[in-house]
Structure 1
Amino acid sequence: MTLKASELILNDDGSVYHLQLKPENIANTIIFVGDQDRVTEISNYFDSIEFTTQKREFKTVTGYYKGEKLSVISTGIGPDNIDIVLNELDALVNIDLSTRKIKKQITSLNIIRIGTSGALQKDILVNSFLVSEYALDVNGMLQSYKTAKISYPEIENSFIEHVNWSSCKAHPTLIKSSNILYKKFVSKQTVSGITATAGGFYGAQGRVLRLPLQDEKINEKITTFSFEGMRITNLEMETSAIYGLSRLLGHHAISLNAIIANRENGTFSENYKKVVKNLIEYTLQKIVE
């Protein structure tokens, strides 16, 4: 099957539309960050830089760190942006862009998210590192795809019942991280759990400024949910999309979170930039170990 020009959109130079990348521009291990400035912060650790480009919020740097070829890409904020980034990265390695045909041999990428997040449990301290063993999609982006083979209906239904989830909202979908990458990045320096991925920062995460919420007790309900010892540890805006699309496309993904706020305690890191810097160094070291 040849993909139509309207479905696989390429730039005049043959690069994928949003990321403006060609297959030779990326490594097989790719670090995702939300902030464009964080791409530079990470690539400053590289021993050498091979390629750099930027289009809109999508900035990419590819280079070498201690002999390991790495790419760093800024995704911007939200699951909708992840849908763009992961589909276009997959196209770079698994679609022949010249013929617009899917390759017979599928290549798996390693996707590592370095992000910030707010903890939902009182015992998860600000300035700690959290590895998302699972991600709970409560934003609906994954509903566009067939997720039945990678989701966990029993846990999802238990969550729906516990929080009295509105039928007007998208069905929550639980996705597991890559077993290989989870084992690689978890340590005595990290905590683990289920990361809930919202589609917004304010109402979608239970924040109230001037607008009332559909369910004013939603965060309290999410915080008290548990299933066979598993609990929802934090809220952010990208992880479930990364996990879901990666599993569907055959890639490995892990999400590492710098906990810069605790929603239960109402606290915020006094020096969140230092926490992110420490997490970057932790991640790079784990990659090359």
Structure 2
Amino acid sequence: MPIKASELILNPDGSVYHLNLHPEQISNTIITVGDPDRVASVTKHFDSVEFQTQKREFHTQTGLYKGKRITVLSTGIGTDNIDIVFNELDALVNINLKTREINKTLKSLDIIRIGTSGSIQKAIPLDAFLISEYASGFDSLLHFYDSEAFQYKDISKALMEHTNWFEAKSSPYVVKGDAQLMEKLSSNKTHLGFTATNVGFYGPQGRVLRLALQDKDLNDKLASFNFEGKSITNLEMETAGIYGLSKLLGHRALSMNAIIANRATGEFSENPTETVNRLIEYTLNKIVE
């Protein structure tokens, strides 16, 4: 049965509504970044760029890096945007946009996030590269989908008990990155971590400017959490949503984090742009190995 026009919204030219893309304009390997301006920071390393477009915060470029076709796409900040980006990416490869019917043969994309993050562990130094093995979402995105089969409920339960989780907040969900991509992109230059995906940058990540926090000790509780040797290492705003929707849609995803702040020590990188650029080059070269 065709998907209704109100559910799968297309632009007048037949492209998906928010991303403004047609299926042939993306590759099977996608790099996501938060900042629209960071797209060019990735594609400046490409041999060539064949296509680019931008609508709102969603900036896309597709081209060749050492002979491999790669798409770089900005998501903006937060898992609400991840919901848009990942559903529309999936529609591009798994739904016939002309007939509005799901394809009989489904395609799996490789999706790699390159983003910035703050460590909450003294042992994860500034300017390090951290790969998110697990991610816990403090938003509610995955709870809107039939997703329990992909959640690590025992870790979630232990986390809520350890932090004395405030009942008015959304229950954390825990998901895992793709094992094959993890093996491919890991090296002695990377740390393996457990990422907390927050719903905001200030209060949800324990920053105080003028507003008091509901739980001023939450970051310390997160830092001291340990489940069978797994400790929460860093805070950011997209990874859990990326992992959850990728699992549900049948795609492979991994989050690469440039650690530009250490919340435990109060330090911030002296050259965060250089750290991100080094992570970009590292990730691109690992992709084509």
So what's the TM-score if we normalise by structure 2? 0.99
Distance in 1 (CA, whole Å) between partners of 2:158 and 2:147 is: 18
User: Secondary structure at 2:264's aligned position in 1?
Assistant: coil
Shift of 1:11: 0.1
User: Secondary structure at 1:124's aligned position in 2?
Assistant: coil
What residue in structure 2 maps to residue 276 of structure 1? 276
Q: Deviations over 1:179-224 (max 9, x none)?
A: 1101111111011111000010001111111111111111010110
Identical pairs, percent? 60
What residue in structure 1 maps to residue 225 of structure 2? 225
Distance in 1 (CA, whole Å) between partners of 2:249 and 2:71 is: 19
1:36-75 paired onto structure 2 within 5 Å: 36-75=36-75
Distance in 2 (CA, whole Å) between partners of 1:126 and 1:167 is: 34
Shift of 1:169: 0.9
Q: Deviations over 1:69-99 (max 9, x none)?
A: 0000011011101110000000000000000
Aligned residue identity for 1:186: S
1:1-289 paired onto structure 2 within 5 Å: 1-289=1-289
User: Secondary structure at 1:158's aligned position in 2?
Assistant: helix
Shift of 1:261: 0.2
Aligned residue identity for 2:209: L
Distance in 1 (CA, whole Å) between partners of 2:214 and 2:102 is: 43
Distance in 1 (CA, whole Å) between partners of 2:35 and 2:43 is: 13
Q: Deviations over 1:236-286 (max 9, x none)?
A: 000000000000000000000000000000000000000001000000000
Question: Which ranges of structure 1 fall in alignment gaps of 5 or more residues?
Answer: none
Moved >2 Å (runs of 4+): none
Question: Which ranges of structure 2 fall in alignment gaps of 5 or more residues?
Answer: none
Shift of 1:63: 0.4
Distance in 1 (CA, whole Å) between partners of 2:147 and 2:163 is: 22
Aligned residue identity for 2:119: A
Shift of 1:147: 1.4
Matched positions, count = 289
Distance in 2 (CA, whole Å) between partners of 1:180 and 1:48 is: 28
Distance in 2 (CA, whole Å) between partners of 1:49 and 1:261 is: 32
